[in-house]
Amino acid sequence: MDTILELKNITKIYPGGVVANRDVNFDLIDGEIHALVGENGAGKSTLMKIIFGMEQPNDGQIIYRGKQTEINDPNQAIEMGIGMVHQHFMLVPSFTVSENLQLGMEPTKGVFIDNKRLLEVTLELANRYGFYVEPDKPVENIPVAMKQKVEILKVLLRGAKVLILDEPTAVLTPQETKELFTQLKMLKEAGHSIIFISHKLKEVKEISDRVTVLRDGKTQGTLKTSEVSEKDISLLMVGRDITSFDMLRANHISDTTFSVRNVSLKLENNEILKNISFDVREGQILGIAGVEGNGQVELVKQLTREIPINIGEVKLLGQTIKDMSMHGMRKLGFSYIPEDRMEKGIASEGTIYENIVADRIVQDKFTKRGILNTKNIISKAKDLIKEYHVKTSSHNQKIAALSGGNIQKVVVAREASTNPKFLLAEQPTRGVDVGSIEFIHNQLIKLRDQGSAILLISADLEEVMKLSDQILVMYDGEIVAYFDNKDVSEEELGLAMLGLSKHDESRPRGAIANE
C-alpha cells in the first residue's frame, strides 16, 4: 500500500482575502477510495483544483509518486495520470459520445477522422470498464447519468490513475447512485485511486475506505471510514451537533396566490416544457423535485419572464404577469431567490448594504425625490445583517468578500424580509454550508407560516422532502407525479424522477386548486 499522492501544508488564499485552504494535509493511497468531505465553502473544491493544476497554492508541497512536483495546469495533471470529473459536465452537446470521448485525440485517416476506429476505441473502452454508453448518440440526447459515465471514461481514456470526482451524486437519483458506486468499486479493483468529494455522509460511509474532513479550509483529520459513524464525521465537519428536527407541515392552505396554466415552451424544436399547470397557495410550500436538466431552469425563466411566456398563462394574485415588468411584479409581492447568486442575486463589486436592500431602493422606499437616505439604508442593512446572521465585519464590506453561505444569506434577507406574497426559491441552498442551510430552511418555513406562497425548485431531494407540503416531480419537461408530502418515500420519488413511474393525468392535477 503505497502513497501515490501527498499534499503537505497547502495554503491557498484568493485575491479578496478569502482563505480557501490553510495548512491542509491530504494523502491518497494507491487503490483506495478516499472521501473528501466538508461543508460547502470548506475548501474541498479549491483543494481539488490545486491537485488538478487549475489553481496554484500560495504555500505547501505536492508530492506525487514520491517526487515533489508542481502542477501548473490541467494538461500537466492529465499527463501525470490525474483526471477530474467536474460537477458541471464539460461536454460538447452536439457531438456524439465517441466524439466527446476522443476530442483532441481522434484517430485519423489522412486528414479525415477515422470514424470506424473512433467507434471501436469507444466500445473497447466501455467494455473494458463495464460502462454502458451509446457511442453514436449526440451527448445532448443522453441522460445525465450517462453523461457522467462519458466524463469518467474520458478521464480513463487519457490514462488517469487518480480520479477526482466532484460531488458526482448531486445530479443522480438514488438508483443511479447505486449503479455508480458499483462501477467505482470496479475501478478500485482495477487499481485506480479515487478521490470522492461529497457532503452526503451516507454515501461516504457506503463507498469510501478513508475519509478526510475539511472545515473552514483546514484539515480536521483523516479517518478509516469503517471505524467511524456518520455522526462522528458530521461532528468534525460542522464542529457541533446538527439537530435534525421534524418540520411542521402547513395546517391551513387557503387562496391561490400564484397560478400556472398550460405553460409550454419550445426551443429550437425541442419541447422543453410540456403543458405545465399548478397552483401555489397562501401558506404553502410547493416543491418541485427532479433530476437537473428536466426543464426546471426553463420553467424558472418563464416564471421570471427571462423567456417570454408565449403559450399558457401565469397569474400572480389574479393578474397575468405576461406583460408585467419585474418592477411591477415585485410591487405585487413577488420575490425570487435565484439559483446562481453570483450571476443574478448580487452585484459583487457593491457593498453589503447596497445589495441587501436593492429592491427597496429601486422601489423608492429609501429615497426622497431621488436622493438616497443613506442613513436609513445603512441602519436597515445593519438590522438585516443581524437578523439573518450574516457574518461580516461591516455593512460597508464588498459583498464578494463574503463566503458563499453568507452571500446567500444576504440574498435571502433581501428577498424574505419584504413579506413577499409569493417567493420563488430556486435551489436556495446550493453551495451553502450546513449551518446556513438550516437557517435558510427555517426562514422559508417562517415565511410560509406567515402566509407566503412558496415555490421551491430543488435538485436536492432531501431539501424538497424536508420543506414541501406538496411535491411535484418534473421529468423531461413534464409534471409526472404529484405527492402529498406525508406518505411519500424517497424510492417513490426517485422512480418518478427517473421517469419510470408516472401518475395518470388526474393525479398531478391535485396541484391545482378547485376552481
CB 314, min distance to another protein, A = 17
CB 15, min distance to another protein, A = 6
- Cβ neighbours for 21, distance < 8 A, ≥ 6 positions apart: 10, 11, 12, 43, 46, 47, 50, 57, 217, 218
Quote the CA–CA distance of 481 and 475 in Å, as a whole number. 9
Quote the CA–CA distance of 182 and 452 in Å, as a whole number. 44
- Nearer to another protein (CB atom), residue 141 or residue 379: 379
CB 413 within 8 A of CB 447: no
- Nearer to another protein (CB atom), residue 249 or residue 344: 344
Q: What grid cell was written down for 221?
A: 483529520
CB 331, min distance to another protein, A = 8
- Nearer to another protein (CB atom), residue 267 or residue 372: 372
What sign has the CA pseudo-torsion 278, 282, 435, 56?
positive
Q: Which stretches does DSSP call E strand in 193-255?
A: 193-198, 210-215, 218-224
CB 374, min distance to another protein, A = 7
Q: 67: how many CB neighbours lie within 10 A of its CB?
A: 7
- Cβ neighbours for 325, distance < 8 A, ≥ 6 positions apart: none
CB 394, min distance to another protein, A = 11
- Nearer to another protein (CB atom), residue 275 or residue 351: 351
Question: Phi, psi at residue 479, to the nearest 5°?
Answer: -90, 115
DSSP conformational letter for 96: B
- Nearer to another protein (CB atom), residue 14 or residue 132: 14
Contacts to another protein by CB under 8 A: 11, 13-17, 19, 22, 58-59, 304, 325-327, 329-331, 336, 338, 343-350, 354, 358-359, 361-364, 367, 370-372, 374, 398, 414
Nearest to 258 by CA among 307, 215, 210, 319: 319
Nearest to 344 by CA among 406, 437, 415, 257: 415
Question: Phi, psi at residue 450, to the nearest 5°?
Answer: -85, 0
CB 327, min distance to another protein, A = 4
User: Which residues are 351's β-sheet partners?
Assistant: 398
- Nearer to another protein (CB atom), residue 41 or residue 338: 338
- Nearer to another protein (CB atom), residue 252 or residue 369: 369
CB 11, min distance to another protein, A = 7
- Nearer to another protein (CB atom), residue 27 or residue 216: 216
DSSP conformational letter for 284: -
CB 385, min distance to another protein, A = 18
With residue 62 as reference, give the H or E element that holds it: strand 59-64
User: Which residues are 222's β-sheet partners?
Assistant: 212
- Nearer to another protein (CB atom), residue 58 or residue 115: 58
Please give the order of strands across the beta sheet that includes 82-85. 82-85, 162-166, 193-198, 33-37, 210-215, 218-224
User: Which residues are 166's β-sheet partners?
Assistant: 197
CB 336 within 8 A of CB 345: no
CB 508, min distance to another protein, A = 29
- Nearer to another protein (CB atom), residue 106 or residue 216: 216
CB 18, min distance to another protein, A = 9
Q: 475 in helix, strand or coil? A: strand
- Nearer to another protein (CB atom), residue 290 or residue 345: 345
Helices (H), 158-311: 174-189, 201-207, 230-238, 296-303
CB 455, min distance to another protein, A = 16
Q: Which amino acid is at 504?
A: D
